[in-house]
Amino acid sequence: MEMDQLVALCKRRGFLFQSSEIYGGLQGFWDYGPLGVELKRNVREAWWHDMVTAHNELEAPPDAPEPYEMVGLDCAIIMHPQVWKCSGHYDLFHDYMVDCRESKRRYRYDQVQGRWVEHNGKRVFVATEASGEEALQDTQQKALKFFNLRAKNAEELQWDAPLVALPTVQDASCVLGPDAKTLGTLTEPREFNLMFETYCGAMRDEDNKAFLRPETAQGIFVNFKNVLDSTRVKVPFGIAQIGKSFRNEITPRNFTFRSREFEQMEIEFFCHPGSSPAWYAYWRDRRYQWYIDLGLGRQRLRLRDHTPEELSHYSCGTADIEYAFPFLAPGEFGELEGVAHRGDFDLRSHMEGKLVRQGSDLVVEKDADGNPRYRGSGKDLSYFDDLSKERYVPHVIEPSAGADRATLAFLCEAYQEDECPDEHGKPVKRVYLRLHPRLAPLKVAVFPLVKKDGMPEVAKEIYKALKPHCTVFYDEKGAVGRRYRRQDEAGTPFCITVDGQTLSDGTVTIRDRDTLRQWRVNKQDCPAEIQRLLTA
């Protein structure tokens, strides 16, 4: 599947629109249309149901070290600015960017790559934002243009084989920027903080500066004590939250994959330091399996443990759940979710102040006068275990997923093309979304074969009977084959058709989107049959 085909389907069928499209769009922002809003809501609800509401706290789930509790939160998007200073986001949540003086474009330093090429003794690094095969073609074309060569003279170019990252290049004067015609137009890399700034109240000054949260996690940490004091939860337990996050990404791209406004589904799981490695292993495998259960293929999904160099300074283990998105080069994967062992870094930061690593310890960072660089809340966020009489700061395991990325992965996986016979038996191309029934925006569509002979009346009765239980679509317009194809594109798993036989024996056909199998059931049995099919 080419990404363009999915993007076109999403627009055509009302899954996703570019934000503010009539004004030319706003980069990095997306609107979910009538089908998209149902799909994303189903992703969120599946997560909340499976992680929180359906969790049985009386028994240990398979492979969990022991039973545990799960509760939820819904925090404000704007929080006290000190939260971000102590969490490290104020100082450290940045990417490096480079600007092109010629094209006036800005790039994420770590996402530009290129190839060294030589012609007539001149060596140049040709940079590109593309990856894989596209990057090879792009750099070849740019090099031909730069050296004023025709395509037929391409063999005069001497390439240093592989694509390498821009940060490996020492001499910026040899670099031909991704959109430049001359050499050396890229600036030195500079830090760029990704938090969106805003102001609270009427004064737009430093004292009133605030930030749109770049992650939902911090709302959970700063409410740890509130949850402990207001509920009877005992460690181990998890707090879950779903909500919007904002990051001023330098290069939003790949449809909704990297947006500036997106939704996260995060759990902060608090446990005893001694059992934290076992809980980390549990959550890593549990979250990986969740995507498989909802339809992602194992061959396109992988669990990748971070190397020691990749780990954050406070983390003793992190794994990414990654998906082979079709916009990536073959063999490349993009992050769907991170599962991190965060130790006691977060709770201690909000108690003591911003922490830094000193040898193997985490200590409060000091300013030039020896005072904490950013003071913590001073509140006691430790936990007292009544049974063991032990007081400790719990360790945290954080499974952090993106609702929009998950939705995109489910859409990519679902996109299918095949051939099926039209109403005259002629094979025609069919595009359909093989979404898991739990995720499908519409669960069932009801059609009268023709708009006469009492068929619409029977179909409307079935529609009415199904409506309280699931999302149903009634359609009587156009040829029935076209109506089926519209539902296939929307990912609707089942279609019910009222036809001539219904009028004589009271049965209707049910059609399965994936197998195209059709069978008859009594019209009164439709709600029970659909319920059975959706939960099968």
Residue ranges that bind ligand GAP, judged by CB under 6 A: 215, 217, 247, 249, 258-259, 262, 264, 266, 335-338, 398, 400-402, 404-405
E strand or H helix at 503:
helix 500-505
Phi-psi region of 425 (alpha: psi -120 to 50; beta: other; left: phi over 0): left
**The three-state (H, E, C) secondary structure of 384-420, written as one string:** EECCCCEEECCEEEEEEEEHHHHHHHHHHHHEEEEEE
Cβ of residue 320: shortest distance to ligand GAP, in angstroms? 7
Nearer to ligand GAP, 401 or 498 (CB): 401
Cβ of residue 28: shortest distance to ligand GAP, in angstroms? 8
Q: Which residue has the tokens 């904490």?
A: 372
Could you count the other beta carbons within 10 Å of the beta carbon of residue 10?
A: 23
Torsion sign across C-alpha atoms 152, 157, 163, 164: negative
Nearer to ligand GAP, 393 or 396 (CB): 396
Q: What does the alpha-carbon distance between residue 412 and residue 11 come to, in Å, rounded to a whole number? A: 14
Q: Is the peptide bond preceding residue 236 cis, with omega within 30 degrees of 0?
A: yes
Cβ of residue 412: shortest distance to ligand GAP, in angstroms? 14
Nearer to ligand GAP, 346 or 499 (CB): 346
Q: What does the alpha-carbon distance between residue 508 and residue 526 come to, in Å, rounded to a whole number? A: 9
> Per the structure block, which two tokens stand in for 201?
């109240």
Cβ of residue 73: shortest distance to ligand GAP, in angstroms? 14
Judge residue 94's burial from the number of C-beta atoms within 10 Å of its C-beta, 0-12 exposed, 13-18 middle, 19 or more buried.
Answer: middle
Cβ of residue 401: shortest distance to ligand GAP, in angstroms? 6
Cβ of residue 29: shortest distance to ligand GAP, in angstroms? 11
Cβ of residue 221: shortest distance to ligand GAP, in angstroms? 10
Nearer to ligand GAP, 256 or 492 (CB): 256
Nearer to ligand GAP, 146 or 262 (CB): 262
E strand or H helix at 432:
strand 427-433
Q: Are strands 317-323 and 301-305 parallel, antiparallel or unpaired?
A: antiparallel
DSSP 53: I
Cβ of residue 258: shortest distance to ligand GAP, in angstroms? 4
Nearer to ligand GAP, 407 or 502 (CB): 407
Nearer to ligand GAP, 13 or 405 (CB): 405
Cβ of residue 293: shortest distance to ligand GAP, in angstroms? 18
Cβ of residue 300: shortest distance to ligand GAP, in angstroms? 16
Nearer to ligand GAP, 300 or 460 (CB): 300
Torsion sign across C-alpha atoms 309, 311, 312, 315: negative
Q: Nearest CA to 145 among 166, 164, 128?
A: 128
Q: Nearest CA to 365 among 309, 310, 313, 318?
A: 313
Q: What does the alpha-carbon distance between residue 180 and residue 178 come to, in Å, rounded to a whole number? A: 6
Q: What does the alpha-carbon distance between residue 304 and residue 332 come to, in Å, rounded to a whole number? A: 12
Q: What does the alpha-carbon distance between residue 531 and residue 84 come to, in Å, rounded to a whole number? A: 47
Nearer to ligand GAP, 85 or 247 (CB): 247
Nearer to ligand GAP, 210 or 409 (CB): 409
Query: Residue 226: what are its φ and ψ, rounded to 5°?
Result: -60, -45
Residue nearest to ligand GAP (CB): 402
